[in-house]
Amino acid sequence: MKNGTIWYDNHGETIQAHGGAIIQYNEVYYWYGEHKGKPNIPGKQAVPLIGVSCYSSPDLIHWEYEGLALSAVPNDPDSPLAPDHICERPKVLYCEKTDTFVMWMHLDNPARTYAGAGVAIADDPRGPFTFLSSMKPNRLDSRDMTLFQDSDGTVYLVHAANYNRTLYFSSLTDDYTALTGLTFPVLIDQYREAPAIMKKDGTYYMISSGCTGWSPNSALYAEADYLIGPWKLIDNPCEGPNYRQTFGGQSTYIFYVNDQPHLMLDHWNAEHLQDSGYSILPITFDHNLLTVRWQNEFMPLASVNRNEEIRK
């Protein structure tokens, strides 16, 4: 799979899983993301809402389309999932306590002035997910978002608030479907979007982008010893061609292939959003500095083997 290009499923169709996330469950990888498989609305950098797609794969290379895990609601203009609305950056976690899959997403009206989050659940990783609610988390805005599970099991909705000025961590109940009310701001007034978070050896790391719409900008990573902070912006983690524009991409999620963290990127094509591409790049640590080095190909097993070589 050539990084930075459109990717195809097992049937030669373009993979429509933008702003998404990959999870592993029972030896199968599931990739959820925005289905943008329609032409842009004339004159707009948007497509009508289709829903959240799900793909499955045994090896991260061969992807089977499992259909829409969460579908747009075509016949109810008041639904948060009405076709002219926005549903972006879906993230899914498996909740062991309830044996359900829980999806959170950014929901918005066509003018993007609502800035809320939505939650949906399913018994099967492929869905269909049942939509539960749409909310302003702790009365805050919620635009770009992700989910992060801390090592103590607590799950946080991490969301850009105050018109993208500041990211908030808002903790979720133990069934992951609601907010507990605990919320705290990080990277205050830094205008970061597209957060992707991981923890290594007791340190938290967050890769994020600046706020330039669909256009790429410099990724930055931040570090913290405690989730509540202080979070400190450290550097651009990217190395390679066009590293100041995140190789033409934007972060969306960090997932693990065995023990190796990988960063997922979207390569947005604003005028033809359905033709947006992807990259998946291993995250390494060089002298304790988080590094995302460009590779032309995503070769999951090769990157794991290479990392094992490095460890030896």
Which positions lie near ligand DGJ, rule CB under 6 A? 19, 88-89, 144, 193-194, 213-214, 250
Main-chain phi, psi angles of 283, to 5 degrees: -100, 125
Shortest CB 44 distance to ligand DGJ, Å:
11
DSSP state of 125: T
Main-chain phi, psi angles of 243, to 5 degrees: -65, -25
Under a CB-based contact definition with an 8 Å cutoff, are residues 19 and 56 in contact? Answer: no
Cβ proximity to ligand DGJ: between 167 and 194 the closer is 194
Shortest CB 196 distance to ligand DGJ, Å:
11
Shortest CB 34 distance to ligand DGJ, Å:
8
Cβ proximity to ligand DGJ: between 66 and 88 the closer is 88
- The residue nearest ligand DGJ at its CB is 213
Cβ proximity to ligand DGJ: between 42 and 213 the closer is 213
Cβ proximity to ligand DGJ: between 42 and 202 the closer is 42
Shortest CB 213 distance to ligand DGJ, Å:
4
Under a CB-based contact definition with an 8 Å cutoff, are residues 67 and 54 in contact? Answer: yes
Cβ proximity to ligand DGJ: between 66 and 144 the closer is 144
Q: Which of 59, 67, 205 is nearest to 128 (CA)?
A: 67
Shortest CB 220 distance to ligand DGJ, Å:
14
Q: Count the Cβ atoms, other than its own, within 10 Å of residue 197.
A: 23
Shortest CB 114 distance to ligand DGJ, Å:
13
State how far Cα 177 lies from the chain centre.
Answer: 18
Strands (E), 3-162: 18-25, 28-35, 51-57, 64-71, 86-95, 100-108, 116-122, 130-135, 145-149, 155-161
Burial code of 159-178, b = ≥16 C-beta within 10 A, e = fewer? bbbbebbbbbbbbbeeebbe
Cβ proximity to ligand DGJ: between 270 and 301 the closer is 270
